[in-house]
Amino acid sequence: MENENVKKIMHVLRHAPHGTIYTYEGLEMILIMAAYEQDLSVVFIGDGVYALKKGQDTSAIGVKGFSRTFMALDGYDVEKLYVDQISLEERGLSEDDLIVAVEVMNSEKIGRLMKEQDVIIHH
Amino acid sequence: MLHTINKSPFETLTMETCFRFLQPGDPVLFIEDGVYAVQAANRFSPMIESLQKNNPVFALQPDLIARGITAVAEGVDAIDYDGFVGLVEEHQVNNWF
Amino acid sequence: MNIGILLKEGPYNHQASDTAFKFAEAAIKRGHRVDAVFLYNDGVTNVTKLMDPPQDDRNIAARWSELSQKHGVEILACIAASKRRGISDDVLVEGSAITGLGTLTDIAIRNDRLVTFGD
């Protein structure tokens, strides 16, 4: 039975990972919210899909890398990771290029999920 | 679900990205630099026109006035902050940047 | 209706703070309760009392402070984001406070809407 006290909260990551702090601080927010046992989902749209790209190494640009933190989400029971199919394809990427297992979805399906949410936060 | 867009479509893909996820009936509200999208007879006018087949379209009047936009695409409803709150009363929100 | 606001950009650089303020005012005027404005990312710099804009411009920190005192709106800056940006209790305007992301989660859970302003 669906618990009425549990809110559906969706985080939408739309920025590439290192040019701005939005993705990193977005991830910090997701990790804290994960402790509150809400119905969390994380969606990667547009340049947000670059956050999941394998093989990132930030050591030479002097900023903290965090792509591996996405691998820890599962341990926080954040299991609903969705990637927008068009965003992935138009960047010449496929699921094999991503650091974690995700569900690749078309925009229509993500749009329907969005409509079910109580809260949506874009990062 | 109310979608707000605050970017000029001439500068970023925010508007076009948002449109891919819209569900029929979802209202779209242009705010801040987003209002440049609904200036009449610009490159995006056909897109705004076809959007209105399934989605009501609004623009924040104070942002239009601030930017000197007087000719607004047909069918677009100009509302003030009070109207913005009114839309939020009726819908959950999805704020696109 | 109970409304929470999430503000993700600093003052002046983006219109986000101004739109958030106008929205909060309008919501209160329509009889809603604006529970809190949670400041995240560069948004935390909205509440430093060190801000000193020219006389003929709005003082954004003072404006949030006034909203808080007049209408009981909590103005809350995220602690992790604040620490990164040199925002501490010493520089906060009256009516604002520093708190954790858990508080934002509570705000998201207890309100009917969470409206985000950013860039």
With CA atoms as reference, report the closest residue to C65 among C93, C92, C42: C93
ipTM of the complex: 0.98
Does the active-site annotation cover C48?
no
The answer to whether residue C102 is domain-embedded is yes
Mean pLDDT, all residues of chain B: 98
Q: How many domains does chain C have?
A: 1
pLDDT score of A35: 96
pLDDT tens digits, one per residue of C3-29:
999 999 999 999 999 999 999 999 999
pLDDT tens digits, one per residue of C48-103:
999 999 999 999 999 999 999 999 999 999 999 999 999 999 999 999 999 999 99
pLDDT tens digits, one per residue of B32-82:
999 999 999 999 999 999 999 999 999 999 999 999 999 999 999 999 999
The answer to whether residue C49 is domain-embedded is yes
The answer to whether residue A3 is domain-embedded is no
- What's the whole-number mean pLDDT along residues C44-49? 98
Low-confidence stretches of chain A (pLDDT beneath 50): 1
Q: Which residue of C has its CA nearest to A10?
A: C108
Q: Under DSSP, is residue C108 helix (H, G, I), strand (E, B) or coil?
A: helix
Q: Which residue of A has its CA nearest to C106?
A: A36
Supply φ then ψ for residue B41, to 5 degrees.
60, 40
- Catalytic residue, from C16, C39, C78, C92: name it: C78
Place of tokens 């109310």: B2
pLDDT score of B66: 98
CB-CB under 8 Å, C1 with B89 = yes
Range of the domain at C103: 43-53+60-112
pLDDT score of A2: 57
Task: List the end-to-end C-alpha distance of chain B, in Å, as a whole number.
Answer: 16
CB-CB under 8 Å, A120 with B95 = yes
pLDDT score of A5: 78
The residue ranges of every structural domain in chain B are 2-96
CB-CB under 8 Å, C41 with A25 = yes
CATH number of B2-96: 3.40.1260.10
pLDDT score of A69: 96
The answer to whether residue C35 is domain-embedded is no
Residues of B in contact with A110 (CB under 8 A): 21
CATH number at residue C49: 3.40.1260.10
The answer to whether residue A91 is domain-embedded is yes
The answer to whether residue A1 is domain-embedded is no
CB-CB under 8 Å, A21 with C108 = no
pLDDT score of B1: 98
DSSP string, A34-83: GGG--EEEEEE-GGGGGGGBTT---GGGTS---TTHHHHGGGGT---EEE
Rounded to an integer, what distance in angstroms lies between the CA atom of residue B71 and that of residue B64? 9
pLDDT score of A3: 62
